[in-house]
Chains A and B, each alone.
Chain A
Amino acid sequence: MKRQIMLVAAGALAFTGTQSAAVSADREVHVAGFGAKSGVVRSFGVNTEAVMRAAAEKINKEGGIKLGDGTKGKVVVTFYDDRCKAEEGISVVRRIASGKAVVAIGPTCSNVAEPLFGVLQKKAGDASDTGLQFPIFTDTAIKGGLAKISEWAFRNVPNESQMYQSLFKWVKKTNPGFKSVFGGVEEDFAHSRFTWYQVMEKRAAEAGFEVKGRVKWLLNDTNFTTQVRQMKKAKADVISISSHPFTLCGVLKEMKRQRVKYKMLIGLTSSSSMETLRGCSRQAAGIIIPTSYAPVTPAAKEAAAGAAKYNGSADLHSAAAWENMFILKSVIEKTGVMAKADTVQADRRKIRDGLAALKSTGGLIGGIQRTKEGEAVKPYVYVHAQGKEWKILHDPRK
């Protein structure tokens, strides 16, 4: 009898286990990623995808996401290439929205994000607006103030204006002898152009620096001799370069050739990546860049290791995808997402509402505040290039 009871109990346990496993296996939370995986910004998409997959692996290993009916679902990540082109980004998101995904993380480029957010429903629940009702949680596209375009758009990107304001003030405070700034700007790239004219130049002046001028070049220029000569003539204490890694490296090499003297070099947030160090680590030595990511906490280190496992690297942009995945996990659990075939649209709405309701979230290097416009106020540190690494120079929170 005792043996029979044991057998029945074992059978019941096995049955329950099978049932529970079957439910878990059936319930999948589809999260789409999209960004540039071809063209010259391919590394951004590669890194974001690697980070998303690593985060999904961690979430699934820890048991998955708790759904509205108490069961656990596993996260499934699908990543799409938008080639950093607006029309392809919009097309990709329409395709994603016609499938099972309940939310998307992306895009890489601001020139994709801006028109893409424009095709989303402007005000959630507005029956007269036939715009796409699909939540997008951006990790990379950094141009200021884009999330306010639609109530379905949310971003977890750093606020450059705040970061450079703080950086220039800190430079002035720690180096009162530095009087002047001279700029270099990649004129035909929306982000770098915006950052110089709307951020670096203004924040430097506000901090008490004399802005002696700026030189310009284009994203695919190969010759910087004339611009660097002007830079040299300006004899500024601080050179501030708003430019992406390819031309940043070209300019830094030319500056070295022409023996441009400066006391401090400041760079664009997006250049605090491995790209710069692979292109010109020697010439970039010492360049200071504010960034919202550095592998300084156990979580940040875990994200970096995860990205490396999937052949990517965690940086200012891609690390945000890790944060987004865990923020989404928390939102999905709080809002009772069901992840069933017939609840896809309702789930999307729940996620949107959940993201909109957030006031603060956790982050890899510290807590993140959320604004009403769907933007993030992220903590940041100043890093500087040393050898083949970015090292923390200063943490403004301390």
Chain B
Amino acid sequence: MEFVDYLQAVTDGVMQGAYYALIGIGFTLIFGVMNKINLAYAAAAFGGAYASLGVAALIGTGDDFGLPPLLMFLVSAVAAGLFAWVVYTICFRFTPDHYELATLMATVGAFFLIEEIAVHATDGEPMDFPEVLQGIIDDPMIEFSDAFAVRGDLLTIFLLALIAMGLLLTLLYRTRLGLATRAVAQQRTAAQLCGISVDRTNATTFIIAGVLGGLAGAMIGAAVGVLSPLLFVPLTVKGLIVTVMGGLGSIPGAIVAGLLVGGLENVFLALRGITERDMYVMLLLFLFLAFRPQGLFGKKVLRD
């Protein structure tokens, strides 16, 4: 392979890394606020994407989707936000705080429940999902030379993901809701003493994370062109890797780690082939855990 091939692989990978980042942000946001992992997060995200397909199928006729792709992204985001709230209510709201495994295991159950619902609703079949520029641009490939090209649809997804991340950061650092979220994340008891409702903040955090996840779910569907329950497990694993590498609770960390994992994954693929690709990604995770357990941007000290 020539240099341009590696450049191409990195470019493709980094753009795909945008949706890894969005999934990672969801995990990290919830961990940051509640100090708990929601393993059903990616499942709820894909639940949103499936819901958008369902709405589109209800409206559409024949081969038409019934909704423009961007509107499907919106429906997916709303539906996933709703699913996330349901997951919060079932798995976190009434689960005992003192038994840490309870919420984790509850989210494992929720994961399989959502996955199996998707399987039963579709018989596990791959479902055609519209590409983001479908109906706008026929040929989304932007060719710079014979050896280097960029997928316009993926570039659009990448930019949309960056906008979503920007909006999230604005929400967290420029609004009262964000202030409350950060307050609960930093010192739950003190936040309560200041009159902040922890339950409401937690639920809102889940909904925000769910909305982001729904966007990611629809973006993945659009990037691959197909939705399948086969996506649930690998994307959950990728999201967790990104969260750990970025630093648990760090949103900038999840963004950087998502793009990094996406890019490196493609380089490993180009260098070592498909059968070894995931081995190197896992090795990278172990290296982080061994030598930089706090991740790229995580804090060294534990929460007080």
Residues of A within 8 A of B (CB): 38-43, 46, 187, 216-223, 225-227, 229, 245-246, 249-250, 253-254, 257-259, 274-275, 278-283
Task: State whether A279 touches B126 (Cβ < 8 A).
Answer: yes
A246: chain B residues within 8 A (beta carbon): 126, 226, 228, 230
Task: State whether B12 touches A222 (Cβ < 8 A).
Answer: no
Task: State whether A223 touches B119 (Cβ < 8 A).
Answer: no
- With both beta carbons as reference points, the residue of chain A lying nearest to B141 in the complex is identified as A257
A281: chain B residues within 8 A (beta carbon): 63, 128
B151 close to A (CB within 8 Å): yes
The complex places the Cα of A123 from the Cα of B156 at a distance, in Å, of 62
Task: State whether A43 touches B234 (Cβ < 8 A).
Answer: no
The complex places the Cα of A39 from the Cα of B115 at a distance, in Å, of 8
> Beyond A225-B151, A278-B127: 13 further Cβ-contacts under 8 Å?
A38-B116, A187-B274, A217-B274, A220-B233, A222-B220, A223-B223, A226-B269, A246-B226, A250-B224, A250-B226, A257-B140, A258-B149, A279-B126
- With both beta carbons as reference points, the residue of chain A lying nearest to B19 in the complex is identified as A222
B155 close to A (CB within 8 Å): no
Chain A nearest CB: distance from B261 CB in Å? 12
B293 close to A (CB within 8 Å): no
B9 close to A (CB within 8 Å): yes
The complex places the Cα of A254 from the Cα of B12 at a distance, in Å, of 12
B67 close to A (CB within 8 Å): no
For A222, give its contact among B120, B234, B274, B275 (CB under 8 Å).
B234
- With both beta carbons as reference points, the residue of chain A lying nearest to B140 in the complex is identified as A257
Task: State whether B233 touches A43 (Cβ < 8 A).
Answer: no
Q: Chain B at the A interface: mostly helix, strand, loop or mixed?
A: helix
Task: State whether A216 touches B274 (Cβ < 8 A).
Answer: yes
Chain B nearest CB: distance from A39 CB in Å? 6
- With both beta carbons as reference points, the residue of chain B lying nearest to A312 in the complex is identified as B123
Q: Which of B149-189 contact A (CB under 8 A)?
A: 149, 151, 153
- With both beta carbons as reference points, the residue of chain A lying nearest to B149 in the complex is identified as A258
12 intermolecular pairs with C-beta atoms under 8 Å apart: A42-B124, A216-B275, A219-B230, A222-B220, A223-B16, A225-B266, A246-B126, A258-B149, A278-B128, A279-B128, A280-B225, A281-B63
Task: State whether B126 touches A220 (Cβ < 8 A).
Answer: no
Check A280/B226 contact, CB under 8 A, given A42-B120, A245-B125, A257-B140.
yes
Task: State whether B225 touches A249 (Cβ < 8 A).
Answer: yes
B109 close to A (CB within 8 Å): no
The complex places the Cα of A249 from the Cα of B230 at a distance, in Å, of 13
Chain B nearest CB: distance from A80 CB in Å? 17
The complex places the Cα of A177 from the Cα of B107 at a distance, in Å, of 57
Chain A nearest CB: distance from B61 CB in Å? 14
Task: State whether B231 touches A220 (Cβ < 8 A).
Answer: yes
Chain A nearest CB: distance from B55 CB in Å? 18
B270 close to A (CB within 8 Å): yes
The complex places the Cα of A280 from the Cα of B134 at a distance, in Å, of 14
Chain A nearest CB: distance from B6 CB in Å? 10
- With both beta carbons as reference points, the residue of chain B lying nearest to A278 in the complex is identified as B125
Task: State whether A245 touches B274 (Cβ < 8 A).
Answer: no
The complex places the Cα of A279 from the Cα of B120 at a distance, in Å, of 16
Check A279/B125 contact, CB under 8 A, given A220-B233, A222-B231, A249-B225.
yes
B234: chain A residues within 8 A (beta carbon): 220, 222
The complex places the Cα of A139 from the Cα of B57 at a distance, in Å, of 33
B273 close to A (CB within 8 Å): yes
Chain B nearest CB: distance from A247 CB in Å? 8
Q: B263-274, CB under 8 A of A: which get 1 and which 0?
A: 001100110011
A280: chain B residues within 8 A (beta carbon): 126, 128, 225-226
Task: State whether A39 touches B124 (Cβ < 8 A).
Answer: yes
The complex places the Cα of A218 from the Cα of B268 at a distance, in Å, of 14
For A249, give its contact among B116, B126, B229, B274 (CB under 8 Å).
B126
Check A216/B273 contact, CB under 8 A, given A40-B229, A223-B266.
yes
The complex places the Cα of A279 from the Cα of B226 at a distance, in Å, of 6
A254: chain B residues within 8 A (beta carbon): 225
B273: chain A residues within 8 A (beta carbon): 216
B204: chain A residues within 8 A (beta carbon): none
Check A226/B230 contact, CB under 8 A, given A39-B124, A246-B126.
no
Task: State whether A250 touches B225 (Cβ < 8 A).
Answer: yes
For A225, give its contact among B12, B119, B275, B278 (CB under 8 Å).
B12
Chain A nearest CB: distance from B114 CB in Å? 13
The complex places the Cα of A361 from the Cα of B117 at a distance, in Å, of 40
A282: chain B residues within 8 A (beta carbon): 63
B126: chain A residues within 8 A (beta carbon): 245-246, 249, 275, 278-280
B8 close to A (CB within 8 Å): yes
Task: State whether B125 touches A43 (Cβ < 8 A).
Answer: yes
Q: B1-22, CB under 8 A of A: which get 1 and which 0?
A: 0000100110011001000000
- With both beta carbons as reference points, the residue of chain B lying nearest to A223 in the complex is identified as B16
The complex places the Cα of A219 from the Cα of B232 at a distance, in Å, of 13
A222: chain B residues within 8 A (beta carbon): 16, 220, 223-224, 231, 234-235
B230: chain A residues within 8 A (beta carbon): 40, 219-220, 246
Q: Which of B270-304 contact A (CB under 8 A)?
A: 270, 273-275, 278
The complex places the Cα of A46 from the Cα of B119 at a distance, in Å, of 11
